[in-house]
Amino acid sequence: MSFQETKIFHKAIKHWWATKKVTKSKRLQGGTRDANLHGKAMDGFGLAIYDFLIGLNVAPAHIFAGNHLARAPSILPSYFRPSKNWDLLVLANSRFHPGEKDNSDPVLYAAIEFKSQDKSIGNNQNNRLEESIGNAVDFWTTYAHSGFDRQQPRPWLGYLFVGKYDPETDEKSVKIKQPHFEAMPPFRVGGSETKAVYAGPSYAERYKIFLRQCVASRLYDAGAFLVTDESISEKVINHRISVPEFGPANFLRSLKAQILAHYPDAKIKRGSLASKI
């Protein structure tokens, strides 16, 4: 892990921690409204990726990152429900929010889902993974049924996760129950085939397996897995990249390849982050 790579989302992680502290403070003061509204904690990541896309000459009018209340929300149609609000879209020729020079049919280049967890990384992990898998399945089913109008270019789908996780628990095993069939291979350990309950991979390792399986299955085209904790929240390096293949650089390289391959006016601007990774 290079120092440069930890700089990519340094400000985003700093903002993430700041929103958590504001939320905690408001709760202690007896506030009834959660300060961590949709998108607020992850705004720093949206801004970082926005700047990255600008460095690839993507028009600002083609980058959407607003929730349902925004003037131009980042909402896409869904197959199993009316719509889904993604965290960031790269989309040209929007039907109702076109850019100044847009004069054709909509083209979806990329969509990104942000996930955040400020409690134990294992808290409700299965529910979070099920939601993320379901969102991806819904996205690709919608695509297969021409919900995004055209089949080419194939849109790029990214998944970025940031969570609070103490380093000493990285390798702490978590029990797996297999009362009827063996767990799938990635979750097995030596001797587990003879036990109904055994100590399996840690919660952090489960997230890594989830991302590997999702990318291999093409549910997501790329994933980023970032972890942080209070002991490093104020430091120059304020997060850890425990799996380089799912670090910020590889995540953005994959997005960069998509934009350069398909976005008509794409080019790498000199001095931009896109020119450095």
DSSP string across 36-92: --TTTTTHHHHHHHHHHHHTTT--GGGEE-B-TTSSSB-EEE-SSSSEEE-SEEEEE
At 18, the pLDDT band (50, 70, 90 cuts) reads very high
Measured CA to CA, the distance from residue 3 to residue 69 in angstroms comes to 37
* Cα gap 54→37, rounded to integer Å: 26
Q: Which sequence spans correspond to the domains of the chain?
A: 3-168+203-275
Give the model confidence (pLDDT) of 19-42 as tens digits: 987 655 554 444 333 333 344 889
Contact 170, 242 (CB under 8 A): yes
pLDDT at 167: 80
Number of H helices, E strands in the chain: 6, 9
pLDDT of residue 23: 54
Higher pLDDT, 122 or 258: 258
Question: What does the block give as tokens for 254?
Answer: 């994959």
- The pLDDT assigned to 28 comes to 44
pLDDT at 34: 35
Residue 108 pLDDT grade (very low, low, confident, very high; cuts 50, 70, 90) = very high
Judged by DSSP in three states, 125 sits in: helix
Per-residue model confidence (pLDDT) at position 72: 83
Q: Are strands 107-117 and 156-164 parallel, antiparallel or unpaired?
A: parallel
Q: Which two tokens stand for residue 98?
A: 């076109």
Q: Using CA atoms, how far apart are residues 117 and 121, in angstroms rounded to an integer?
A: 6
Query: How much of the chain exceeds pLDDT 70, in percent?
Result: 91
Residue range 245-268: mean pLDDT, rounded: 97
Look up the pTM and report it: 0.90
Question: Of the ranges 46-55, 66-75, 109-118, 182-191, which one carries the lowest mean pLDDT score?
Answer: 66-75
3-state secondary structure of 134: helix
Three-state DSSP class for 258?
helix
Query: What confidence score (pLDDT) does residue 70 get?
Result: 79
